Amino acid sequence: MEYQFNIEKNKIDSNQVLEIIKDYKNSSNQDLQLAMDYIQKDFEFTKQNILKFSKHLDELEYTYNTILKEYQNRNAK
Contacts (Cβ under 8 Å, ≥6 apart) of 70: none
Half-sphere exposure at residue 23, Cβ-oriented, CA atoms within 13 angstroms: 8
Per the structure, the count of domains in the chain is 1
Q: What is the pTM of this model?
A: 0.68
Question: Which pLDDT tens digit goes with each residue over 39-65?
Answer: 999 999 999 999 999 999 999 999 999
Q: Which range of residues forms the domain containing residue 64?
A: 4-75
pLDDT at site 76: 86
**10 Å Cβ neighbour count for 5?**
18
Q: What whole-number distance in Å separates Cα of residue 66 and Cα of residue 71? A: 9
Q: Would you state the pLDDT for residue 24?
A: 95
**So what's the pLDDT on residue 14?**
85
